[in-house]
Amino acid sequence: MSKATLYDQDFLQWTQQQAEYLRNGCWAGLDVENLAEELEALGRSEQRELGSYLQILLMHLLKCQYQPERRTKSWDDTLSNCRDKIQDCLEDTPSLQRFLQDSEWVEKYYRRARRDAARETQKPVATFPTECPYPVEQVLDADFLV
């Protein structure tokens, strides 16, 4: 069975085979093109994970600020958990820090958080600022909006 065929037919077996080839130095057996694609996909996955936690964190910050009377322990737990998960992402993959310093990248997740906050609070989306009102340092600060 060709390298690409195994990749298409049984991904798990393909990954195990490729790992074995790498460990044993069987360079000729490596499916280089698909390995490269999978490694790139892993990097994108790490970036999306960070973005997902940021989006949830931003949404809860907006909810806490614009609907404080409905704040619950669950919201506080979400703030804390998202901050912890973001910290874990940054500790495991320090190069992700550059995305938090990219205002366009942060704004992408803020726009989604804004939309979600409007839906969850049942307030018009115009209630919330069009641009992220919080610097990243503040967003990640465990003492902010506690």
**Span 95-139, pLDDT tens digits:** 999 999 999 999 999 999 999 999 999 999 999 999 999 999 999
| Alpha-carbon gap, residue 49 to 43, rounded angstroms | 10
Section 76-92 average pLDDT: 97
Do 16 and 38 form a contact (C-beta atoms < 8 A)?
A: no
Number of domains in the chain: 1
**Residue 95, helix vs strand vs coil:** helix
Whether the per-residue pLDDT at 2 is higher than 90: the answer is no
Q: Which domain holds residue 117?
A: 46-140
* pTM summary value: 0.87
Residue 102, in any domain of the structure: yes
H helical segments located in 1-146? 3-9, 11-24, 32-66, 73-92, 97-100, 103-121, 136-140
Do 117 and 128 form a contact (C-beta atoms < 8 A)?
A: yes
Residue 65, in any domain of the structure: yes
Amino acid 3: pLDDT: 66
